[in-house]
Amino acid sequence: MSGVLVIVEQRADRIARISWEAVAAGQKLGASLSLPVSAAIVGAETETLAAEIAAKGPTKVLRVEHPLLAQYTADGFTLALQQLIEKESPAYVVFPHTYQVRDYAPALAARLGQVLISDVVDISDGPIFTRQLLQGRLNGNYRPTGTGPCFVSVQAGAFRADAAETGTAEITVFIPTIEPAQIRTKPSEPFRGSSQTVDLGSAQLIVSVGRGIKDAENISIVQELATALGAELAASRPICDSGWLPMERQVGSSGQTVSPKLYLAVGISGAIQHLVGMKGSQCVVAVNKDPDAPIFEIADYGIVGDLFEVVPALTEAVKAAKQ
């Protein structure tokens, strides 16, 4: 067994940034262990994308191609990659931690008697893989102890996509054996949820509210602060799940990704699913009663206190400053 294999994901015929981050993570791992790094792309037609990957420095690019892989299915991808891994026998397999990877990589690892170390944020000597516990309150350091390939998926934003190297790789085609009957699920084409009328992505100022608000009726105090600032109102997932604000105001991995000048988080603890949607903000302010809330790890300014006291005081102070 040798080498690091990175599985690159295509979405609507392009490669998203998180896959380049996975390539960079694979290269970091390869460099620390003196192992060659190869990359694989799965689909029905992968020629163009394979050429794009080849320029990012892996020694080899594998085009895993089959007509039955045109649309993603867990069964198809698991079968195809199982065969590829058995042939290539890599020591490490690195994935981007996407919804698609979450859907099949745990089964792929289990089929080979292994466990995916999911949502990794750092790789250090050993190798030790760091991932977050308790919604980001603690870090856990994991060490693989198995004898088979070690499966790892990396969190969005944890590795720098521009750290991927450059070069020209050899490109080969791998054709897995898949029968139509082996694919048990029939997926539809993806569709958009509701028509999006709120474009948080271009907002300069955002006031965002989380679970700490406790009740739908209390949202008005945060709305008043947003109005005073001239900011858009946004929310973390639980608020939209409860129907207190529409889904289109949700920031995070399942909602919108924002990068305003100011992101003021009220009563948001900072679970990673939320942070990935807003950590590109220029200035983050957090108001939270829990001084250990993970949101403070990425905040520039923090107020530790009861939001029901702090927010009205802040609204008044903003209004006064604007007069």
Partner 1 sequence: MKIIVAIKQVPERDAQVRIGEGGKRIDEADLQYALNESDAYALEEALQLKEKHGGEVIVVSAGPERVGQTIREALAKGADRAIHIDCDDLGRRDALGVARLLAAAVKPESPDLLLTGLQSEDLGLGQTGVIVAELLGLPHATLILHVEKTDSGLTVKRELEEGWFQTIDLPTPAVLTIQSGGNKLRYATLMGIKRAKTKELRRVTASELSVESTPVVLLEQVALPHKQKSTQILPGSPKEAAAALVEKLKFEVRVL
Secondary structure class of 264 (helix, strand, coil): strand
Q: Which of 50, 84, 116, 226 binds partner 1 (CB under 8 A)?
A: 116
Helix (H) or strand (E) run with residue 206 in it: strand 205-209
Tell me if 221 contacts partner 1 by CB under 8 A: no
- Residue count (the chain): 323
Please state the closest distance from residue 59 (CB atom) to partner 1, in A: 27
Q: Are 226 and 207 in contact (CB under 8 A)?
A: yes
Tell me if 38 contacts partner 1 by CB under 8 A: no
Q: Is 152 left (phi over 0), alpha (psi -120 to 50) or beta?
A: beta
CB nearer partner 1, residue 60 or residue 319: 319
Stretch that binds partner 1, among 44-52, 85-93, 164-172, 256-264 (CB under 8 A): 256-264
Please state the closest distance from residue 137 (CB atom) to partner 1, in A: 6
Tell me if 285 contacts partner 1 by CB under 8 A: yes
Q: Which of 2, 89, 124, 141 binds partner 1 (CB under 8 A)?
A: 141
Distance CA 280, CA 185 (A): 37
Stretch that binds partner 1, among 29-37, 47-55, 213-221, 310-318 (CB under 8 A): 310-318
What contacts 292, CB < 8 A, 6 or more positions away?
137
CA angle (280, 218, 238) in 5-degree steps = 50
Tell me if 54 contacts partner 1 by CB under 8 A: no
Tell me if 203 contacts partner 1 by CB under 8 A: no
Tell me if 133 contacts partner 1 by CB under 8 A: yes
Q: Is 250 left (phi over 0), alpha (psi -120 to 50) or beta?
A: beta
Distance CA 91, CA 174 (A): 19
Tell me if 74 contacts partner 1 by CB under 8 A: yes
Q: Which of 20, 77, 104, 159 binds partner 1 (CB under 8 A)?
A: 104
Please state the closest distance from residue 139 (CB atom) to partner 1, in A: 5
Q: Which of 28, 131, 249, 274 binds partner 1 (CB under 8 A)?
A: 131
Stretch that binds partner 1, among 36-44, 48-56, 166-174, 239-247 (CB under 8 A): 239-247
Stretch that binds partner 1, among 32-40, 51-59, 162-170, 314-322 (CB under 8 A): 314-322
Residue 50, phi then psi, degrees to nearest 5: -60, -40
CB nearer partner 1, residue 170 or residue 300: 300
Calculate the alpha carbon distances from 140 to 70, 129, 135, 189 in Å. Answer: 37, 8, 11, 37
Find where tokens 């042939």 sit: 87
Helix (H) or strand (E) run with residue 237 in it: helix 237-241
Subset of 178-197 contacting partner 1 (CB under 8 A): 184-193, 196
Distance CA 247, CA 225 (A): 20
Stretch that binds partner 1, among 29-37, 40-48, 56-64, 107-115 (CB under 8 A): 107-115
